[in-house]
Amino acid sequence: MARWADNVLMERWSGTLKSERLRNAEYETPAQLEGMIRGFVGEYNTTRPHQSLGYATPSTWYSGGIAEVA
């Protein structure tokens, strides 16, 4: 049985995407929309600090974790 907590991280990410990029965005083609979403994903993972990761970016945090394991 699915629970609300099972999808809470994805719901949070989706809300951030909508509020920061899509609500006021204008695009004419699906390709333009896809480009905006890809740009957001790149920024979200490489330049945006995350409180839950000690204000590191996901890519920095992930790379640091790999270095600790290796």
Whether the pLDDT of residue 66 is over 60: the answer is no
Q: Which neighbouring-strand residues pair with 50? A: 56
Distance CA 8, CA 6 (A): 6
Which of the 8 DSSP states describes residue 47?
T
Confidence tier at 67 by pLDDT (50, 70, 90): low
The C-alpha angle with vertex 20 and arms to 15 and 24, in degrees rounded to 5, equals: 110
Q: How is residue 45 written in tokens?
A: 């993972």
Residues 6+ apart with CB under 8 A from 53: 61
Q: What is the pLDDT of residues 20-61, one digit of tens each?
A: 999 999 999 999 999 999 999 999 999 999 888 889 999 999
